[in-house]
Chain A
Amino acid sequence: MDALETLTLFIVSDSTGETAEHVALAAISQFDTDFSKIVRYRYVEGSGKIDEVVSRAAAVPSIVVCTLVDRQTRSVFAEKTAAAGIPFVDLLGPMVDALEMRLGRKPLQAPGLLRKLDEDYFQKIKAVEFAIQCDDGRSTESLPEADLVILGVSRTGKTPLSMYIANKGFKAANIPLIPEVDPPEIIRKVPSSKIVGLIISAERLIQIRQERLRLLGLEPSASAYATRERVDRELQAATDYLKSLGARIYDVTDRAVEETAQEILDFLRAR
């Protein structure tokens, strides 16, 4: 028990090391404690760092988890950690070796390329998680981390747009603009270049909302939701607010989400 309370996790990777960390964190959740410290050795090339890792890991209660493609490095690592009595996990190495045999070709070892691929993958995963977490005005405390904040009245397609953009690796949050509810103050801390507003023609919005009411089994005239007056007021308030933020405004009337997304992505990438 005492040993676990001060357990240090050493991650050694020829790339970002995030996969190893992922597995290790899931595994530690099965014990009554957490790692007291995580030491990451990333973008390790060759066996140059092994002695350093082994001597640091030998000094404290620890476990070493590696994701390394190079078999030679892994076997030296396994020997040296065994000699020092340090628990060592070669996470996916045995599988890489087996696949190399079956595929009849070597795995990629170009560090730059792998680094790019791994970073892209985790960037996308994080962006998608972020978009889910910050959908529909939730988790506004995370807004300063966003690459993009999408604002708009109800039914302008904020969620699909956020998801689409997250899928391209950008962290997108979206917040509904409702006349009776003040948008969170924290938006003012987001640079205007990261804010976009979605607007839509009043006619189209009325149509969409009437359809929505019908789907809910309501008579469209029974609610103010789809009336011209209400819709005009909402759109006006939204436009005023968006202008006050200095947001770029996109009219999504009769546009496919992909179109708006593409324009926004072009802008994000050009920055």
Chain B
Amino acid sequence: MVTFGERRNGFSFPDGENVDLFVLSDCLSEVAEACASWITRRFGKTGIEITRFGSLTGEDKIREALDEASRTGAVVLHCFLSGEYRRLVKETCLGQGTDEYDAFSPVLTGLETAAGQGPKEDRALLHPMDREYFRRVRAVEYTIAADDGGNPSILKEADVVIVGISRTGKSPLCMYLAHRGIMAANVPLVPGIEPPPQLFRIPRTRIVGLTRSPVSLGEIRTRRMSMMGLPPEESLYVRSEEIMREIDYASGIMENLGIVIFDVTKRAIEETAHEILALLAGAQERHSFHGGAK
């Protein structure tokens, strides 16, 4: 299990405390996300750290998330279609002394009163196709939140984490994967900036590295500099030794992590994406065959 000791970014308010907000949901992940996002917009970007537990099925997973909430003193916001899960969350939080807010029940209850009848218990909300659709929307939302090293605390939720130096196409690759329903985070590897510690707790089968030939990187960056109106020849960014240094640095980290590395120099995003999808599909199986050993 992931430990939470290093999650905070050292941010604090003189008059109050930071709040860990755990957002739990089943197939209502999208609704839960809208509510959580509404809350954070009201309080600004800092001070509230969200951890999402979406598409939860099974009491064990819910209990596990609530135990974590209890340990860390997190506030729980939940949105469950399943009445059984709603009750489980309420009772568990009550027992553990966790602050818990139900985004769904009050409206259901209001509707019951208005209608003079109860809802159909746990009626399936969506067609299977809609579920697939929401899975993708959720993946895209996650990928946006976890783009470019944003929000390292949610890295552990990722189906795959893409690492690489700048201009290796991490963001578009992640967006493509998200579009296939994969929650994809990306973390830039920049010399002088330590990757977040959370990265090193992700199983290596869920991390993929990207690299690109120095010549190709040089070309892309030169164009980028001139687009920005900067003289490319004077910039450190494009100087080949600088590029080599970055590539060496990134290679070091990627080798350290023991991850699969793709050279994207002569490939379309889709190619790399499909290989990653195949890799993810096969990871579980290989893992069990080789016991996850290096």
Q: Cβ of B123: which chain A residues have Cβ within 8 Å of it?
A: 29-30
Residues of A within 8 A of B227 (CB): 259, 262-263
Given contacts A63-B110, A87-B111, 9 further A-B contacts (CB under 8 A): A7-B111, A18-B34, A19-B35, A22-B31, A29-B125, A99-B19, A103-B13, A117-B41, A159-B176
Chain B residues within an 8 Å CB radius of A262: 227
Interface-facing stretch out of B54-62, B135-143, B231-239: B135-143
Residues on the B chain within 8 Å of A129, using CB: 137
Please give me the residue from chain B that is nearest to A33 by CB atom: B115
A103 and B47 form a contact (CB under 8 A)? yes
Q: Which residue of the partner chain, among B39, B79, B120, B271, contacts A96 with CB atoms under 8 Å?
A: B39
Within 8 Å CB of B15, what residues of A?
Answer: 104-105
Q: How far is the CA of A7 from the CA of B116 in the complex (A)?
A: 12
User: B48 — which chain A residues lie within 8 A by C-beta?
Assistant: 99, 103
Give the interface segment out of A43-51, A232-240, A250-258. A250-258
Mark B residues whose CB is within 8 Å of A.
13, 15-19, 28, 30-31, 34-35, 37-39, 41-44, 47-48, 75, 77, 79, 81, 99, 101, 103-104, 106-111, 113-117, 119-120, 123, 125, 133, 136-137, 140-141, 144, 147, 167, 169, 171-173, 175-176, 178-179, 216, 219-220, 223-224, 227, 266-271, 274-275
Q: Flag whether A222 is at the interface (Cβ < 8 A).
A: no
Q: Evaluate contact between A167 and B179: CB separation under 8 angstroms.
A: no
B219 A163 Cβ-Cβ under 8 A: no
Interface residues of A in 131-172 (CB under 8 A from B): 131-132, 135, 155-157, 159-161, 163-164, 167
Which of A178-186, A189-197, A207-215, A241-249 lies at the binding interface? Answer: A207-215
Contacts of B268 in A (CB 8 A): 155-157, 208, 212
Interface size class of A (residues with CB under 8 A): 35 or more
B16 near A102 with CB under 8 A, answer: yes
Give the shortest distance, in Å, between B265 (CB) and chain A (any CB).
9
> Which one of A94, A254, A256 lies within 8 Å of B101 (CB-CB)?
A94
A83 contacts partner chain B, Cβ-Cβ < 8 Å: no
> Separation in Å of the B171 CB from the closest CB of chain A?
6
Given A28-B111, A107-B42, A132-B136, are A163 and B271 also a contact pair (CB < 8 Å)? no
